[in-house]
Amino acid sequence: MAKQKTIITCAVTGAIHTPTMSDALPYTYDGIATQAIEAAQAGASILHLHARNNETGAPSVDPDDFSPFLGRIKQATDAVVNISTGGSLTLSIQDRIKPAKTFSAEMCSMNMGSMNFSFHPLAKRYDTWKFDWEKDYVEGSDGNIFRNTFRDIREAATTLAPERIKFEHECYDVGHLYNLKFCMDTGLFKAPIFIQFVMGILGGIGADVDNLVFMKKTADKLFGDDYRWSVLAAGAAQIPLAVTASQMGGHVRVGLEDSLFIQRGELATSNAQQVAKIRRVIEDLGSEIATPAEARKILDLKGGDDVGF
């Protein structure tokens, strides 16, 4: 049997990091569009996108902050657009799913459990901040509960069902796999499901190989052949665990949403730089990366012509 090709997802900006932390983090409409397009050119077949306020870089779930870059990305690339539904740790699920619904994306994230979700330790690294909102946002994350109850998940899934969106099921711990199994058994999600093992978030499972093997074994037990999987590791573990995942037959996610670095102690200059690095390693090790068309086939997506932007 031919070896499965590896899908590279690039998560371009996210909602954890702030402009002070890296000059490379895109936050304007133009910056997000440009870096997303370059990431696709470097080999990312899926672009996981959040929006930000064009002036201040504050995370935004306002569809008006998505439209300026979605059209440009669609014009310039064939990459699959995946819109986040986790762009705020404080707003309701209804607000969070608005962009995915409004633009009827091919994919969107679906966070599979409620949890602490914190990045407050990062605040200690900076004495001055580019924008007023950043310090409180980062420091205050020790008080966050990232709310994704069964009711929230059901509401998101049923509201988005008419759009035929494939979900990137973000599972931050082993229990989230059981939540997903429960939801699947109630008919909310159709095979093949796509699981993103999220590792190394403060509040979730740690980023190491033992934990990845445990997540994968548990998913095998629960979902058999009905799932495809990828790994996202936060911070320094990003590339090492992506390499491990690709060697285990999984897909990978990189991007400045998950890590600002290209190697220990060195900030990445762009999203494309991280995509090029993981691509180089995957290809050096004898695997091939998936084109957008191949990613659509592997994940059974509706296709780029059926989106609403």
Interaction partner, residue 275 (ligand KMH, Zn ion, none; CB < 5-8 Å by kind) = none
- Does 170 contact ligand KMH by CB under 6 A? yes
Distance of CA 210 to the CA centre of its chain: 22
Token code pair at residue 244: 């491990």
Residue nearest to Zn ion (CB): 84
d(CA 201, CA 271): 20
Binding region for ligand KMH (CB under 6 A) out of 11-19, 30-38, 266-274, 295-303: 11-19
Q: Are the C-beta atoms of residues 171 and 177 closer than 8 Å to each other?
A: yes
- Does 84 contact ligand KMH by CB under 6 A? yes
Its sign, for the CA torsion 135, 136, 140, 146, is: negative
Token code pair at residue 146: 């990232």
Beta-carbon neighbour count of residue 34 at 10 Å? Answer: 20
Interaction partner, residue 183 (ligand KMH, Zn ion, none; CB < 5-8 Å by kind) = none
Interaction partner, residue 111 (Zn ion, ligand KMH, none; CB < 5-8 Å by kind) = ligand KMH
Token code pair at residue 220: 């095998």
Token code pair at residue 250: 């999984």
**Cβ at position 127, least distance to ligand KMH in Å:** 25
- Does 111 contact ligand KMH by CB under 6 A? yes
**Cβ at position 216, least distance to Zn ion in Å:** 21
**Cβ at position 10, least distance to Zn ion in Å:** 11
- Does 89 contact ligand KMH by CB under 6 A? no
**Cβ at position 177, least distance to Zn ion in Å:** 19
Binding region for Zn ion (CB under 5 A) out of 10-18, 57-65, 92-100, 300-308: 10-18
Torsions phi, psi for 267 (to 5 deg): -65, 140
**Cβ at position 170, least distance to Zn ion in Å:** 8
Q: Smaller CB distance to ligand KMH: residue 16 or 289?
A: 16
Q: Smaller CB distance to Zn ion: residue 5 or 270?
A: 270
Binding region for ligand KMH (CB under 6 A) out of 82-90, 119-127, 177-185, 222-230: 82-90
- Buried-state track 144-174, b at ≥16 Cβ within 10 A, e below 16: bebbbeeebbeebbeebeebebbbbbbbbbb
- Residue 23, C-beta contacts closer than 8 angstroms, at least 6 positions apart: none
Radius of gyration of the chain (CA): 18
Preceding omega of 240 cis (within 30 degrees of 0): no
Q: Tokens 């991007």 belong to which residue?
A: 255
Binding region for ligand KMH (CB under 6 A) out of 17-25, 80-88, 98-106, 276-284: 80-88
Q: Smaller CB distance to ligand KMH: residue 45 or 84?
A: 84
Q: Tokens 């509201």 belong to which residue?
A: 159
Q: Are the C-beta atoms of residues 82 and 109 closer than 8 Å to each other?
A: yes
Torsions phi, psi for 188 (to 5 deg): -75, -35
Residue ranges in 83-112 that form contacts with Zn ion under rule CB under 5 A: 84
Binding region for ligand KMH (CB under 6 A) out of 10-18, 62-70, 241-249, 264-272: 10-18
Residue ranges in 230-289 that form contacts with ligand KMH under rule CB under 6 A: 257
Contacting positions for Zn ion (CB under 5 A) = 14, 84
Contacting positions for ligand KMH (CB under 6 A) = 11, 14, 16, 84-86, 109, 111, 170, 198, 201, 257
